[in-house]
């Protein structure tokens, strides 16, 4: 019986010491998890702040409007393809593609001068035929470019 009590005592002491170590390890694990969650929450807050800042910048950029003038190079069934006149190299000889009709429903044709507005993100806003007053100003500053486009259009036409 004494052996049994000693054995029981040894088992109890062992169980208690194992339980103490287990509790300590569990507490450390919980502490580490709490620190990790805190770091993740901070990271999440940082990402949310960056997202809010980006949204604000996009909102501000969309409020900015730029206006450029283009000459229609060609028109197909759906679209008009315009080349920049006063973009100072922004479009680098690339077409800006717009609907083939102006807001009155009149189709554009090759050589038409068009005013196109853009938001700060580069999205096309309105497009319309350039007014006579704007044409006069354009000819003063960019007449050479307009004439070179028109000469190119003439050269492309088939000879009769």
The percent of residues above 90 in pLDDT, for the chain, comes to 14
Asked whether residue 11 carries a pLDDT value surpassing 80, the answer given is no
* Higher local confidence (pLDDT), 137 or 14: 137
**DSSP tag of 87:** S
Contact 153, 110 (CB under 8 A): yes
pLDDT of residue 75: 93
Architecture of domain 64-156: Beta Barrel (2.40)
Rounded-to-integer distance, Cα 96 and Cα 116, Å: 9
Strands 79-84 and 124-129: unpaired
Summarize pLDDT for 90-108 with one digit per residue, the tens.
676 688 899 998 888 899 9
Summarize pLDDT for 67-90 with one digit per residue, the tens.
888 999 999 999 999 988 876 666
Rounded to an integer, the average pLDDT of 120-137 is 83
Rounded-to-integer distance, Cα 73 and Cα 91, Å: 14
**Position of tokens 């507490």?**
27
Contact 64, 119 (CB under 8 A): yes
* Higher local confidence (pLDDT), 28 or 160: 28
Report the alpha-carbon angle 80-78-96, nearest 5.
Answer: 30
Q: CB neighbours (10 Å) of residue 98?
A: 21
pLDDT band at 159 (very low <50, low <70, confident <90, very high): low
Contact 130, 113 (CB under 8 A): yes
Closest CA to 82 of 71, 93, 92: 71
Determine phi and psi for 43, rounding to 5 degrees. -60, -40
Summarize pLDDT for 20-70 with one digit per residue, the tens.
556 566 677 777 787 888 888 888 888 899 998 888 887 777 777 788 889
**0.85 surpassed by pTM:** no
pLDDT of residue 80: 94
pLDDT of residue 54: 87
**Position of tokens 């287990």?**
22
Asked whether residue 7 carries a pLDDT value surpassing 90, the answer given is no
């Amino acid at each position: 019986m004494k052996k049994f009590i000693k054995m029981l005592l040894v088992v109890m002491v062992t169980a208690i010491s194992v339980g103490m170590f287990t509790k300590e390890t569990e507490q450390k694990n919980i502490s580490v998890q709490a620190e990790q969650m805190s770091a993740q929450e901070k990271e999440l807050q940082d990402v949310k702040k960056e997202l809010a800042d980006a949204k604000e910048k996009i909102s501000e950029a969309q409020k900015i409007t730029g206006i450029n003038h283009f000459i229609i190079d060609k028109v197909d069934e759906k679209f008009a393809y315009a080349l920049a006149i006063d973009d100072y190299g922004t479009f680098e000889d690339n077409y800006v593609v717009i609907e083939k009709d102006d807001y009155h429903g009149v189709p554009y044709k090759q050589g038409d001068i068009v005013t196109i507005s853009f938001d700060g993100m580069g999205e096309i806003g309105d497009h319309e035929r350039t007014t006579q007053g704007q044409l006069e100003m354009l000819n003063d500053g960019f007449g050479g470019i307009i004439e070179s486009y028109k000469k190119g259009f003439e050269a492309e036409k088939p000879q009769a």
